[in-house]
Amino acid sequence: MAGFAATNLIGTALLSLPISSRSGEWTGFVDALFTATSAVCVTGLTVLDTATHWSPFGLVVILVLIQLGGLGIMIFASLVGLALARKLTVRSRLNTAAEAKAVGYDDVRGLVRGILLISLIIEAVTFCFLAPRFMLAYGYGPAEAAWYALFHSVSSFNNAGFALYSDNLIGFAADPWICLPLCGAIILGGLGFPVIMQLRKEFRRPLHWSMNTKIVLWATATLLVGGTVYITVFEWSNAETLGAYDPATRLLIGFFHSVQTRTAGFNSVDIGLMHDETWLGMDVLMFIGGGPAGTAGGIKVTTFAVLFFIMATELRGEGAVNIFGKRLSRAVHRQAITVVLMAVAAVMVATISLMVITGLSFDRVFFEAVSAFGTVGLSTGITGDLPDAAEIVLVLLMFLGRLGPLTLGSAIALRQRRILYEYPKERPAIG
């Protein structure tokens, strides 16, 4: 957390400099801090127009902060996984390694090298899709097309949502050659490094996949399809959003925005013109987020899936929670509940604070708070008009949402107190 805070401050200092703005003037501290935090925490919320306010130097700083933030989270999360593995017995560690085909527990260099290589390969492939499209369909020169493709490739894989256009990606709403490559990079970044590594090694042997990989793939596919259906249905006849396009494009836009709720934050229609019901559904998807040890935020799909299976087990009256043919550790039950309750508390405190500070309606403020906590970057259009105090609240929420669930979860898992006695059991009335 100290490392991310230091990176935020360095980014804030660089973005405050006159060389970082197109006007050649100093950028206010709070605005620079907000932008730096949004970049490092790969959120995408902006209080200044990315396309018009920042100079080429400022945009490069933002791009570097996005890359450092995305790589830092994946590396940190993977190292936490290794630390957790070392807490197990030798037999348990060997069984875990054999089951998950994990990177060697002592091969930290190999771990970091693998994360870096996978990130660069996915970004390079996305770049190869975008650059020719910018040149051939939109008349960009080679250098300009390369810059736009590079920026959006890095921003998409790291689930950042920063775009080089004042209207984000609204101008490309009907272009699948732009939208789908971005969606692919976002989904891969949101799966998480452990899942990508296992799929790379054992794609054709699903029986060997770990419980984590199966949960992430199952939950991601379910939420992507469910989100696409939900957004498309509720916005189908909205003339301000999907209703202005043909049916095929409406499906593309619905899928695109379902992907963005995985914590990416691009938008190809004006979010502020969507129906309230759509906002509420997107709130849920943004809060859940993507996979662990990846570039996505939220409470993570694994946490959500664990709670779902706990509920299903309780409703069936069974004793143990079984997921994909394996029994879930009881310690994970408590960890998932703790992470979710802490996340709910953080979002509600921030929402109340923003309502007091701004006087705005609950639906818009709540959407903004969930987007910040989930490091999504989608907004109903109020971010740029927020006072400094509200920006600080969102800065803290973005930082907490990016590192809070991970550090909290690892702290809970790594901290074990052995109590030599137990109190007698008693059951309070529930429900």
Count of structural domains, the chain: 1
Please tell me the pTM assigned to this model.
0.88
430: in domain: no
pLDDT the model gives residue 97 = 46
29: in domain: yes
The tens digit of pLDDT for each residue in 378-397 reads 999 999 999 999 999 999 99
422: in domain: no
427: in domain: no
pLDDT the model gives residue 325 = 86
Q: pLDDT tens per residue, the chain (431 residues)?
A: 777 888 899 999 999 999 999 999 999 999 999 999 999 999 999 999 999 999 999 999 999 999 988 887 667 666 666 665 555 455 555 454 443 434 444 556 677 777 888 899 999 999 999 999 999 999 999 999 999 999 999 999 999 999 999 999 999 999 999 999 999 999 999 998 889 888 888 888 888 888 989 999 999 999 999 999 999 999 999 999 999 999 999 999 999 999 999 888 899 999 999 999 999 999 999 999 998 877 888 999 999 999 999 999 999 988 889 998 889 888 788 888 888 998 999 999 999 999 999 999 999 999 999 999 999 999 999 999 999 999 999 999 998 888 766 666 566 555 666 777 888 888 788 77
49: in domain: yes
pLDDT the model gives residue 294 = 79
The tens digit of pLDDT for each residue in 251-284 reads 999 999 999 998 888 999 999 999 999 999 999 9
419: in domain: no
pLDDT the model gives residue 380 = 93
pLDDT the model gives residue 91 = 56
425: in domain: no
Residue for token digits 């559904």? 281
156: in domain: yes
Domain that holds residue 130: 2-414
